[in-house]
Structure 1
């Protein structure tokens, strides 16, 4: 079996933040800007707290079979919860979406490159 790459997105909203917590998040906002969002093994957090309370964690996982996707998503969500709980940040509406990149639709350029490589 070949190794597959999974992208897991965990979304939620901050809730009940104290003024100190809000200030801490706002001071670190540049590190968590949506424009620099990427999928990483450690998980990348992005938010725009000045605009809304929503946040997104992006995780990169791997596995060998379809069955590995659900546990990977569960690990990513647990990591996000641990990060939030470890800092005492309240949250709500936590949900995750996992995607197996080996099954993702190819874009026009990718299909063209694949066709030219096969010829």
Structure 2
């Protein structure tokens, strides 16, 4: 069995072709998607502001370590695309960054 690693992935994109109804819905829910609500979750955490220019999703992805950060990023982008399509929201320019939490070095302050 392959070793599983946990990745934190941030998927960023820009809103595109939002309808008046979509813009209205996003603006009505903007307080639920601000900086204070950003967290990494398996379901994804959507963040954006009232300018409705760009957005980000934060995901926790668990996948085979051999597949690396590239696969984790691709899985997160796929989840983001699925969520955006299901909500009927237009987007473009998706890009992502992934961090392998199992290989991250933690620098502890010495006493």
Query: TM-score per shorter chain, which class?
Result: 0.7 to 0.9
- Cα deviation for residue 90 of structure 1 reads 1.1
In structure 1, list runs of 5 or more residues that go unmatched: none
Contact 1:62 1:72 in 2 (8 A): yes
| Aligned equivalent of 1:95 | 95
Give the count of matched residue pairs. Answer: 110
Q: What is the TM-score of this pair, normalised by structure 2? A: 0.85
Report the 3-state secondary structure (helix = DSSP H, G, I; strand = E; otherwise coil) of the residue aligned with 2:8. Answer: strand
| Aligned equivalent of 1:23 | 24
In structure 1, what is the Cα distance between the partners aligned to 2:18 and 2:34?
A: 19
| Aligned equivalent of 2:74 | 74
Report the 3-state secondary structure (helix = DSSP H, G, I; strand = E; otherwise coil) of the residue aligned with 1:102. Answer: coil
Report the 3-state secondary structure (helix = DSSP H, G, I; strand = E; otherwise coil) of the residue aligned with 1:11. Answer: strand
1:82 to 1:2, Cα distance in 2 relative to 1, 3 A: closer
| Aligned equivalent of 2:51 | 51
Contact 2:38 2:46 in 1 (8 A): yes
- Cα deviation for residue 69 of structure 1 reads 2.9
1:6 corresponds to 2:11: no
Q: What is the TM-score of this pair, normalised by structure 1? A: 0.80
| Aligned equivalent of 1:38 | 39
After superposition, the C-alpha distances for 1:85-109 in whole angstroms (9 at most, x for unaligned) are 11221111111111102233424xx
Larger Rg: 1
- Cα deviation for residue 84 of structure 1 reads 1.0
- Structure (1/2) with the larger helix percentage: 1
